[in-house]
Amino acid sequence: MQKLFRKLSVTISAVTMIGIIGFSAVVIAAGSDIKEGKKLAFDRKKGNCLACHMISGGDMAGNIAPPLVAMKARFPDIAVLRAQIADARITNPDSIMPPFEAHGVLTSGEITKVTAYIHTL
Amino acid sequence: MKITMTAMIAALAFMLMPFTAIQASPEDDFKAFKGYFTKKFKDTEVDDFINGVYSIDSPSRKQWDEIEEFPPYELAIETGEELWNKPFANGKGFKDCFSGELSAIRGKYPYYDAKADTIVTLEGDLNKCRTDNSEKAYKWKKGKIAALSAYVAYAGRDNPIAIKMPSSEKELAWYNKGKTFFYAKRGQLNMACADCHIYNSGNLIRSEKLSPALGHPTHFPVYRSKWGELGTLHRRYGGCNKNVRAKPFKAQSDEYKALEYFQVIMSSGLKWNGPGSRK
């Protein structure tokens, strides 16, 4: 019984360790993604999201589109958010928002980074 | 129940029919166009739409009014007058190409020329006058052509836009070409003129307030601070196309002539007030 318990606790701590390491790895990757995503979102030649959306920390934002706030509440599923940013026509065929991925304004990798950043807002 | 449903569908189809069966006439389009803006900007007098974004933006209006007291296009009008009066090598001049009062010239354009099946613009006829007299055509977007256009526009200020509404099939074809252009999405950014200048007029794109399309062409050519000089309406069209990463068309191309024709028709009744000054 004692032995079994020890074995179990070892397994558990091993699992926990792996869990923690795995988790922090994800956080680190996402951390740099978020930073780059913000740069891409603010860059006038790239996302230029500020042309239309208010974003906290961004200057001279336009008011054509809804402010990008409380994104986790509005987009619990990040995949839905990504789809909106990749091609806004899925929700509004006449949208003035550029179809970023479909028209090659941003690459697929860049969309992923922008999405990671926007989801933190 | 089944019968009511069928009847309802039939009634619905009947209700929708008029809109699909009959194509909107330019007169109807114009009424809807003007109605949209007068309703959207209730505080703006209809006649004031000729002042572009300043007709809907009181904070920048004051500053602009001050600029217009010593207008930056004054010199260009003088240059235009000199060019207008200077004889060509063959002794003839612009006066020989344009009949009637100077003040009546601006308001004649654009018009449909049935013989050539094209839209004739003021700038087009200015350069035609030169080439007809064995002179080289001026470049289309700025400089001398803009100065001449400014001189003629200035003399023609305050005349109302009294363009003939398209009625023949070919006139309507030009009209519809311009209208389609105006509402079509284009460029890598996939935006239509209407996206910015109808649906989002009055809104900010970055820190720029978007002007209403009603009154767009009245004050051209325009002195833009950004250009530091005068530019024609077609130069502005090219700029707006480039902003959405679309390849601009050439000034005086069929596309831009049709667009000018459509825009002037949509501004019917407003006053010509060129040249103008803008940010």
Would you list the domain boundaries of chain A? 2-118
Residues 6 or more apart whose Cβ sits within 8 Å of residue A46: A40, A105, A106, A110
Task: Sort out which chain A residues have CB atoms less than 8 A from B189's CB and list them.
Answer: 98, 103, 105
H or E, element range at B231: strand B229-231
- The per-residue pLDDT for B84 is 97
The residue in chain A having the minimum alpha-carbon distance to the alpha carbon of residue B192 is: A96
Where residue A30 falls among pLDDT bands split at 50, 70, 90? confident
DSSP-based three-state secondary structure for B20:
helix
CA distance B92 to chain A (A): 51
CA distance B215 to chain A (A): 22
The residue in chain B having the minimum alpha-carbon distance to the alpha carbon of residue A58 is: B206
Dihedral angle of Cα B26, B29, B31, B32, to the nearest 10 degrees:
180
Nearest to B188 among A51, A64, A103 (CB): A103
Of A46, A64, A103, which to mutate for an interface test with B (greatest number of B Cβ within 10 Å)? A64
- State the CATH class of domain B26-71+165-278: mainly alpha
Dihedral angle of Cα B137, B141, B145, B147, to the nearest 10 degrees:
-160
CB contact under 8 Å between B203 and A63, yes or no, is yes
Quick check: B210 pLDDT over 60? yes
What is the per-residue pLDDT across A63-85, written as a single tens digit (0 to 9) for each?
Answer: 999 999 999 999 999 999 999 99
How far is B266 from B191, CA to CA, in rounded Å?
A: 20
- Rg of chain B over CA atoms, in angstroms? 21
CB contact under 8 Å between B206 and A104, yes or no, is no
- Report helix angle B122-132 to B144-155, nearest 10: 120
Quick check: B7 pLDDT over 50? no
- Domain-by-domain residue ranges, chain B? 26-71+165-278, 74-155
Q: How many CB atoms lie within 10 A of CB B49?
A: 24
Could you give the percent of chain B with pLDDT greater than 90?
A: 88
Q: Does A60 touch chain B (CB under 8 A)?
A: yes
CA distance A37 to chain B (A): 19
Quick check: A23 pLDDT over 70? no
CB contact under 8 Å between A98 and B191, yes or no, is yes
How far is B147 from B140, CA to CA, in rounded Å?
A: 11
Q: How many CB atoms lie within 10 A of CB A6?
A: 10
How confident is the model over A37-44, as a mean pLDDT? 96
CB contact under 8 Å between A62 and B188, yes or no, is no
CB contact under 8 Å between A64 and B204, yes or no, is yes
First-to-last alpha carbon distance for chain B, in angstroms, is 63
- The per-residue pLDDT for A16 is 45
- The per-residue pLDDT for B22 is 54
The ipTM, to two decimals, is: 0.88
Q: How many CB atoms lie within 10 A of CB B250?
A: 12
Quick check: A5 pLDDT over 50? no
Where residue B24 falls among pLDDT bands split at 50, 70, 90? confident
Domain B74-155 sits in CATH at: 1.10.760.10
CA distance B103 to chain A (A): 41
CA distance B37 to chain A (A): 17
Task: Sort out which chain B residues have CB atoms less than 8 A from A105's CB and list them.
Answer: 188-189
How far is B69 from B52, CA to CA, in rounded Å?
A: 17
Q: Does A8 touch chain B (CB under 8 A)?
A: no
DSSP-based three-state secondary structure for B118:
strand
**Active-site residue flag, B193:** no
- The per-residue pLDDT for B182 is 98
Nearest to A103 among B190, B206, B207 (CB): B190
H or E, element range at B153: helix B144-155
Q: Which of A68, A66, A90, A69 is nearest to A79 (CA)?
A: A90
Where residue B119 falls among pLDDT bands split at 50, 70, 90? very high
DSSP-based three-state secondary structure for B276:
strand
Q: Is the peptide bond before B160 cis (omega within 30 degrees of 0)?
A: no
What is the per-residue pLDDT across B48-89, written as a single tens digit (0 to 9) for each?
Answer: 999 999 999 988 999 999 999 999 999 999 999 999 999 999
A 95-114 residues inside an 8 A Cβ radius of B:
96, 98-99, 103-105
Task: Provide the whole-model pTM.
Answer: 0.88
How far is B95 from B116, CA to CA, in rounded Å?
A: 23
- The per-residue pLDDT for A31 is 83
Domain A2-118 sits in CATH at: 1.10.760.10
What is the per-residue pLDDT across A51-65, written as a single tens digit (0 to 9) for each?
Answer: 999 999 999 999 999
Of B185, B190, B243, which to mutate for an interface test with A (greatest number of A Cβ within 10 Å)? B190
The two three-digit tokens of residue B171, written as one number: 């006139």
